Amino acid sequence: MTFSLLARDPGTGTLCAAAATGSLCVGGWVLRGRLDAGLSASQGAAPSTFWGEEVLDRMAGGQGASTAVAEVTGADRGRAWRQLAALDPTGRAAAFTGDENTPQMGARSFPGGIASGNMLAGLEVLDALSEAFQGAGGSPAERLIAALRAADRAGSDSRGLFSAALLVLSPAHAPLTLRIDYHDSDPIGALQTLHARATSGGYGRWARQVPCAEDPERILSETDFRD
């Protein structure tokens, strides 16, 4: 009952993901990621948060996305009601969609990424999601928001949207995880507003100076973080 996108920037190693749904709290339910493991989107009629974590553990252990997805989904007797997409740290992608999910449903892979969804107005939503991300400019988060907008315009979740989220994991920056858990008219717009506030002003300056994977002992070089 969701559409999501997972992608990797080969130049920087940044991993980024976004999701939107006609239900609540899509970020907490769907998106998972670790720089050493990759990204996952676990969704569907009866989504398994266990799937999202386990596929990351397997990819962190060296399994490629295809093997990890096949092994995680194959052992679950409730697999027909679930959907899982995964992107490993090298940018290889795989997905599984159970037959009992609500049409339209499926996945679209592209170089360095994958879009997946179910309960969609049509499969063109996935095409719009992946094509818009690949064609958009700006930061990874800005490209994710543009992709969500394009998917919404192409038909969206067949029920409309109530929540949206994004996740950006960069070796050079602290994780950026933003969630709109409920908005009754435009969760993508609310997500865009939250992103602008989180990446500008005093908060944005502070967030750019805290420890990250490339500099885990980094300290602040500025003392005034007021807007």
- Cα separation, 186 vs 171, in Å, equals 31
**Cβ atoms of 132 and 18 closer than 8 Å:** no
Angle 178-183-186 (CA atoms, 0-180°, nearest 5)? 90
What pLDDT sits at residue 32?
A: 98
Q: What is the mean pLDDT of the chain?
A: 96
Residues in the chain: 227
Task: Convert the pLDDT of each residue in 69-103 to its tens digit.
Answer: 999 999 999 999 999 999 999 999 999 999 999 99
DSSP readout, 22-43? SSS-HHHHHEEEETTTEEEEEE
Percentage of the chain with pLDDT > 90? 96
Q: Specify the range with the lowest mean pLDDT, choosing from 64-68, 111-115, 207-211.
A: 207-211
- Cα separation, 49 vs 29, in Å, equals 7
Q: Which residues fall within 8 angstroms of residue 53, CB to CB, at 6 or more apart? A: 32, 40
What pLDDT sits at residue 57?
A: 98
Task: Convert the pLDDT of each residue in 125-168 to its tens digit.
Answer: 999 999 999 999 999 999 999 999 999 999 999 999 999 999 99
Dihedral, CA of residue 63, residue 69, residue 74 and residue 78, to nearest 10? 140
What pLDDT sits at residue 149?
A: 98
Please, which pLDDT band fits residue 224 given cuts at 50, 70 and 90?
Answer: low
- Indicate the burial class of 223 (C-beta count within 10 angstroms; 0-12, 13-18, 19 or more): exposed
What pLDDT sits at residue 3?
A: 98
Task: Convert the pLDDT of each residue in 156-170 to its tens digit.
Answer: 999 999 999 999 999
The yes-or-no verdict on residue 46 having pLDDT over 90 is: yes
**What is the number of other CB atoms lying within 10 angstroms of the CB of residue 203?**
14
What pLDDT sits at residue 1?
A: 82
